[in-house]
Structure 1
Amino acid sequence: MTAYTTFFGDGEHSFKLTPALIGELETKCGSGVGMIANRLFSRNFAQADVTETIRCALIGGGVSPKRAHELIVAYVEGRPLIETYELAAKILERTLFGNPSKGNDK
């Protein structure tokens, strides 16, 4: 799984979905990762698809579960979904396809 680093909320964060966190994401969203990605890529997603993708990827990127929850509450919940939709889509894109511009090594 390829990490994605970008500014989110209060600073730069690394986002990565590990196999265990993909399982958690699937449980939270009630679908396989491919279906979640398909919903996001086609813009036919549920709020949990966005929120849980970001939360799980923050944990995979090294943020504690408690801090990941705090970041979601502060910077995702109650905000327009379009503000975080692109981040969730980028996380799933990197998870499924790697980083083609870096030869899948970052």
Structure 2
Amino acid sequence: MHKAFFGDRERDFSLTPHLIPELEKLTGKEITAIVESTRSMGLAEMVHTVRLGLIGAGEHPKEAAELVQTYLNAHPLGELHLLALDVLTDLWVGPEESVFREATDDEKVDAERRVNRAARSAVQEAAATGDLSAAINAGAA
């Protein structure tokens, strides 16, 4: 089970094995192809992964669809991508063991600032050089 803030509060996500056929049907890819191509996931794959992760964690299917539709545009695409990656990682390798302490709020804010600075730097470099792949690759890392 993966916990993440999505929409208006922290929610549980779990892409359970019984939902894999639905994800494969919706994306037209087998689960191994989805997992192997996570760095280049399309928007539909991200949306379906997050929606099915909500359902697998107990959210009603209609509510899960409404949440994804409502909050898709409220979050940067990179956040949706990372959430989809976390959901797929939990499916593929199992949930992360709690062997590390939870980061403090200050540590979380600091980490978020570092990520945002790196992303801004990559975008500025891309603007200066015309190399958009640098910004895209930095955002996917």
TM-score range, shorter chain: 0.7 to 0.9
1:24 aligned onto 2:16: no
Q: Structure 2-normalised TM-score?
A: 0.64
One-letter identity of the residue aligned with 1:12: E
Q: Which has the larger radius of gyration?
A: 2
Pick 1 or 2: higher relative contact order, CA cutoff 8 A, min separation 6. 1
As a proportion of its length, which structure holds more helix? 2
| Deviation, structure 1 residue 81 | 2.0
Q: TM-score of the superposition, structure 1-length normalised? A: 0.84
Aligned length in residues: 99
Instruction: Report the Cα distance in structure 1 between the residues aligned to 2:95 and 2:62, rounded to whole angstroms.
Output: 28
Instruction: Provide the rounded CA distance (Å) in 1 between the counterparts of 2:74 and 2:25.
Output: 23
Over aligned residues, Cα RMSD in angstroms? 1.8
Give the match for residue 92 of structure 1.
Answer: 88
Q: Percent identity?
A: 37
Distance of aligned partners of 1:9 and 1:100 in 2 relative to their CA distance in 1, 3 Å threshold: closer
Structure 2 gaps, min length 5:
100-141
Does 2:45 correspond to 1:49?
yes
Query: Structure 1 regions of 5+ residues with no counterpart?
Result: none
- Of 45, 54, 59, which residue of structure 1 is paired with 2:55? 59
CA deviation string 1:58-105 (max 9, x = no partner):
0000100010011111111575421210000010011000134348xx
